[in-house]
Amino acid sequence: MSDQKLQANGRVWVFGHGLTTDDMYPPDAMKLDLPEAAKQVFYAVRPGWTDQVRPGDIVVAGRNFGLGSSRPVAALFRQLGVAALIAEEFNSLFFRNAVNAGLPAMTVPDATSVFRDGDIAEIDLATGNWANQSTQTSGVVPVLPPLVLEIIASGGVLPRLAQQGYLPAELAELLSSPSVAAAGQGSGA
């Protein structure tokens, strides 16, 4: 599998350990529509970040990334144009939300010391390869199960459902667009 949707190459933003879904999708943001809610990501951790992040950027975090709620933070990242997530360790619910939104996510040990703000990262989920182009460091991590790669390569779970006839076929393309696929059928908590 060498799908482009399994690869990302972009400028990184490095965050710390134990970031919760409340840090990324605070309760007040749940009262807003997606584009407005996305402006709240990291609102207290790094105020103003959502004005600085550009489409194609990659978010790097430390241990236990995404602890907390089922609310689809991946939807907000896709809304902001974030191309991939890299973390030393993911909370499994948060990781699944990324997969189901078609957002590439890779576990890289020591990610927060390997990468610094502004470095250019490159990942390929199909091979497990990652690299920091800015520092010429690289590594390989275990490849995710084929089923998981298939979901990400499909652009998330909703386009797959449209392909399988559970949703109107004419929605398939629309559901692949970042903002719609990322919305992930409502919200959770």
Partner 1 sequence: MPDVGMTMIERILARKAGLASVAVGDTVTVDVDLTVLIDLQFATMWLPPLRIADPDKVAIVMDHAVPAPTIKDAAGGPNARKFAADFGIERFYDVGRHGICHQVIAENGLARPGEVLACTDSHTCAGGAYNTAARGLGPAEVYSILCTGRTWFQVSPTIRYEFVGELPAGVGGKDVFLHIANEYGDATNLNLEYGGPGLASIPLHDRRTIATQGAEVSADFSTFAFDDVLAAHFEALGVAGFEPAEADPDAAYADVREIDLSGLVPYVARPGTVSRNGLPVTKIEARRIDQAFIGSCANGQLDDLRIAAEVLRGKQVAPGVRLIVTPASQQVYRDAMRLGYLQDIADAGGVVTNATCGACFGYHMGVVGPGEVCLTSSTRNFTGRMGSPEAEIYMASPATVAASAVAGHITDARAEATR
Residue (131 or 183) nearer to partner 1, CB: 183
Mode of pairing for the β-strands spanning 120-124 and 137-140? unpaired
Residue (42 or 132) nearer to partner 1, CB: 42
E-strand stretches of 15-165: 58-61, 84-87, 105-107, 120-124, 129-132, 137-140
The per-residue DSSP string of 55-90 comes to: TT-EEEE-TTBTBS--S-HHHHHHHTT--EEEESSB
Residue (34 or 123) nearer to partner 1, CB: 34
SS3 143: coil
69 touches partner 1 (CB under 8 A):
yes
Q: Which stretch binds partner 1 (CB under 8 A): 4-12, 50-58, 115-123, 176-184?
A: 176-184
Interface with partner 1 (CB under 8 A) = 18, 20, 22-23, 26-28, 30-31, 33-34, 43-44, 63-64, 67-72, 74, 89-93, 96-97, 100-101, 145, 147-148, 156-158, 160-161, 164-168, 171, 180, 183-189
